[in-house]
Structure 1
Amino acid sequence: MMMRRTLLAGAAFALIAGAAAAQEAQIDTRPGGPERVDLTIYQGNVTLVEDIRGLTIPAGRSRQEFPGVSASIRPETVSLAGRGLEVVEQNFDYDLLTPDKLMQSAVGQEIGLVRINPGTGREETQRATVLAANEGVVLRIGGNVEVLRDDGVPTRVIFDEVPANLRPRPTLSVTMDAEGAGRRDVTLTYLTSGLSWTADYVMRVDEQASTLDLLGWVTISNRSGATFTDAETRVVAGDVSAGGSYRGNGIAASDDQSLGDYYVYPLPERVTVANNQNKQVGLLDVSGVATTKRYRWETYGFSTQPQPQAVEVAYLFANGPINGQNRSLPAGTIRVYINDANGEPRFIGEDSISHTPAGSDLAITTGEAFDVTVQPRLVTEERVSTRIVDYFRTRRSVEYTLRNARPEPVTIEVRQGGLGRDTEIQAQSHPGVLEDSRTVVWKVQVPANGEVKLTATIETGG
């Protein structure tokens, strides 16, 4: 197999200079790709392609070819629309022209072998019949049966023609009936796999000004086997099942286009998405967005920790109007940079966001703060008697030591979860709020290079 592959790479490519050159005019005069193409790229490896071409069609029945369609097309989803046209039959030819396929198609036929005589340096041509092209190429040359081998002698293989079943690119052919002859626009619509998209964001924070700049990109990956040139492109937030129905959560309305319970994000300009290419296109670019920094520590249940616990750091901001329009944000990854003392950006972490409607508040978590900590301690715990059978209550006294080693004061949000039913806060050193039946929240300011003791007595049902 290695010998065959090496030979075909070095020899059979002579079709470019030989038989394929003779076919070049025929290939070039075929209809080209679409005059206009629109892409709607869903999440879930499904893309809707709308391929618009101007064709000169004779009256009655004729066969039209549509080269340049996606190699990953789902033929059963194809539809064709045009004035006075009726589709009779369609075929998708995806047997692509390759050296291997060309040699296999030549089985039983004659080819030309051109070699350079090592002694004279002259080219010598022989005619040979291809007997087989399985794990190697077997030839009959004169009265002998030989194996085409890589023996170090420069060899070219000449094919007389390109078989009609091999295509230089995937081609859809349609047999149609037309009412009257003439040129008309035809729209070919189909679903394909092989295209996908993701959203990525770069967030640059200026802590001195309490603002941030946000840059958003859509990255389109094309592995469909086709290049889509100058395509009007939109991406859709939400997964599509293999059967073509939607699944996932609905998204609220905004100035972006909507599609059922999903958002459609039109890209600002037409783009060319080449095969085997990742293309990045700008989605948004905003600056001077107000932001606040949040320090949060959260726990479930009550315990004593021998060491201080680092708190989570996040930047909060609102997804407000962008350039006068409400804009939802596709799910993606946000990478966060912060300006250092010289105003240069330094990477500090990343977080992911889900599909975010316009007007929503976002919290982008960048990691943990080593210089802001919380150390919890369970001081006492006792069961409180009750008259209700099989129902008891527990009273706990807790202490949280909040430390701040930063040169400026910070506010730490302490969240104590895992509470039982009918929770009562019987005493507390700082005002807290029962956010729900099982979570109490305190927001405590800690001075620069300082420490604060937060204490509470909490009674819960078992």
Structure 2
Amino acid sequence: MRRWLFLALVLSAPAFAQGVVTSAAPDSVSVSVYRAPDRSSDTAMNLDWLEGYALITEKRTVDIPAGKATIRFEGVAAGLFPESAIVTGLPSGVREKNLDADLLSPRSLYARMFGRPVTLRRTLPGSGEVREERAVIRSGVNGAAILQTAAGFEVATCGGLRDELIYPEAPKDLSVRPTLSIETEAAEGHRATVSLSYLAWGFDWQTNYVVTMNADGRTADVSAWVTLASSDSTSFSDAETAVIAGEVNREDASRGAVPTRGTLVLQCSLSSLAPPPAPPPAPVPSIVFSPALMESDAQIMMSARAMPMKMNAAVTVQQEGLGDLKLYRVPVPVTVAANAQKQVALAQKKGVKMEALYRAEVWEDSADAVRQMLRTRNRKEEGLGLPLPGGPVTVFEPQGDAVVLSGEGGLADRAVGEDVEIMLANATQVTLEAETLNNTERAKTVRLTARNARAVPVQFEARVASNVGTQINGAKPARAGGKVLRKDGRTIWEVTVPANGTVTWGYTLVKPR
């Protein structure tokens, strides 16, 4: 009777067990990168703090067992937003989604071993003698590494000592790679091709422009490169890649929540009350694993690595429409590597008409510093005529037989037909002075004086703005030449300042009655 009861329990056990199916990697993947929502298009992205995001779609083949099961998708982006994950192609609905974000790293390993025994390997200074003893971790990951040994409590890596911690094993609940798991329930088992789509934090992209002025000073060669960056710890090999230009409204309370890095930084001092001067930060205790743990293929130490950017002008992104947005697709599969950047050509234009000039903003009778700038129009007639995503601009100009760096600026998003203005650095050889000549209750007379200390003539413009209702009455600058016009709500004085010369223009500010 007991034998039959035992057999009945064994046979009925699978009905209550829940299978675990692991998908180690996707069959194919596509990555679409969006710019940081709060970063202006003409501002360079911060590589130390990428605030853009990516839409990642993976195709995976999984064997789904009958009944309740857990499907584990390994190798997803570490910055994945679990609430954004969509899984299609399953025989039944998804009951639950979980992101295993606590990865195996020096920091998480040290934290999980709190109160547990480890081996302290110590190298004595001078003699180089190595000693090992049992110890118990008695502190958290922030601050000093406090260990309890047979001799009492002490701080690791202090007093000139070089310590290493040897862990007996890795906790089983720490994932080696970022993993998304879902709970399913199927009437029968079968193989399925599923699609997993999600948003992930820690990506960004921009367009890098290189403008090389020609010797005539009126045309330039312009090259544009799409630069995408990832601060995520997951690499996506042979990915169909695209970047999205334009403003996408995202309202997400979790935006900005960057996954905790796996680095472990320990300090020698125990508190901020240590007498001055404070010692420099001590080196982090090295982490060494026991031979059994070293045999596993787990990647414990994770660090950022810089991947050299390979520029291949033959690979150029292809523009596609996406509603009010612009999508630029890389025509061949590429690898979006972890903690790395990649560049792909956007456009190459030669002989673009380019005007170099100096500009100053004037508020009634107060002038800002004069800035260098380049100006053209985004039309085919000028040599452009394509949507220009914003990004940093580097300008070079010929100097004898060489080409030297002239300045750097930024370009905002520009549609076809719009003016393109690239503001560079403040000028040192061209200045503007605003002087009040007469000031009454209703009127103020102002004189602008532009000076050029260069050995060549320069184009100059002053953009004068005033309070609402105040009129700007300016006489024609007959002697100095140039012209006065109205544009974008401002009065603009355009003039050529001769080499080592000076020009002036006066106007009157008339307040409303």
**Deviation readout 1:289-317 (Å, 9 max, x if unpaired):** 111122334422237x9xxx974332112
The count of aligned residue pairs is: 397
Inter-partner Cα distance in structure 1 for 2:202 and 2:428: 44
Amino acid at match of 1:71: A
The answer to whether the aligner puts 1:32 opposite 2:81 as a matched pair is no
Unaligned runs of 5+ in 2: 1-20, 38-50, 123-130, 140-144, 256-317
SS of aligned partner of 2:177: coil
Preserved contact between residue 379 and residue 417 of structure 2 (Cα < 8 Å): yes
SS of aligned partner of 1:76: helix
Task: State the shift of 1:82 in Å.
Answer: 0.8
Which residue is 2:411 aligned to?
A: 353
Preserved contact between residue 212 and residue 397 of structure 2 (Cα < 8 Å): yes
The partner residue of 1:415 within 450, 463, 467 is 463
Task: State the shift of 1:331 in Å.
Answer: 2.5
The partner residue of 1:93 within 91, 95, 100 is 100
Inter-partner Cα distance in structure 2 for 1:367 and 1:107: 54
Preserved contact between residue 238 and residue 263 of structure 1 (Cα < 8 Å): no
Task: State the shift of 1:178 in Å.
Answer: 4.2
Preserved contact between residue 397 and residue 406 of structure 2 (Cα < 8 Å): yes
- List aligned pairs for 1:150-189, cutoff 5 A: 159=168, 163-178=171-186, 181-189=189-197
Which residue is 2:371 aligned to?
A: 312
Preserved contact between residue 290 and residue 317 of structure 1 (Cα < 8 Å): yes
Which residue is 1:6 aligned to?
A: none
Unaligned runs of 5+ in 1: 1-28, 116-123, 247-254, 384-392
Which residue is 1:223 aligned to?
A: 231
**Deviation readout 1:408-455 (Å, 9 max, x if unpaired):** 444432434327747374743437545169743333344445444545
Task: State the shift of 1:186 in Å.
Answer: 1.0
- List aligned pairs for 1:63-102, cutoff 5 A: 63-82=70-89, 84-98=91-105
SS of aligned partner of 2:83: helix
The partner residue of 2:247 within 238, 250, 253 is 238
**Compared CA separation, residues 411 and 376, structure 1 to 2 (3 A):** same
Which residue is 1:435 aligned to?
A: 486
Preserved contact between residue 210 and residue 222 of structure 2 (Cα < 8 Å): yes
Structure number, greater radius of gyration: 1
Identity, in percent, stands at 30
Which residue is 2:443 aligned to?
A: 394
SS of aligned partner of 2:94: strand
**Compared CA separation, residues 69 and 437, structure 1 to 2 (3 A):** closer
The answer to whether the aligner puts 1:291 opposite 2:349 as a matched pair is no
SS of aligned partner of 1:167: coil
**Deviation readout 1:76-130 (Å, 9 max, x if unpaired):** 2222111534323333223323467567767899999999xxxxxxxx999x9x9
Preserved contact between residue 293 and residue 314 of structure 1 (Cα < 8 Å): yes
Preserved contact between residue 29 and residue 57 of structure 2 (Cα < 8 Å): yes
Which residue is 2:47 aligned to?
A: none
Amino acid at match of 2:358: Y
Inter-partner Cα distance in structure 2 for 1:100 and 1:49: 28
Inter-partner Cα distance in structure 1 for 2:59 and 2:187: 19
* Root-mean-square deviation over aligned CA pairs: 4.6
Amino acid at match of 1:70: A
Inter-partner Cα distance in structure 2 for 1:68 and 1:328: 35
- List aligned pairs for 1:52-71, cutoff 5 A: 52-71=59-78
Amino acid at match of 1:394: A
Task: State the shift of 1:74 in Å.
Answer: 1.8
**Deviation readout 1:124-154 (Å, 9 max, x if unpaired):** 999x9x9776565669xxxx99989989999
Task: State the shift of 1:373 in Å.
Answer: 4.2
Inter-partner Cα distance in structure 2 for 1:361 and 1:436: 12
TM-score by length of 1: 0.68
TM-score by length of 2: 0.62
Preserved contact between residue 399 and residue 454 of structure 1 (Cα < 8 Å): yes
**Compared CA separation, residues 400 and 154, structure 1 to 2 (3 A):** closer
The partner residue of 1:41 within 3, 25, 33 is 33
Task: State the shift of 1:375 in Å.
Answer: 4.3
Preserved contact between residue 59 and residue 179 of structure 1 (Cα < 8 Å): yes
Task: State the shift of 1:183 in Å.
Answer: 3.5
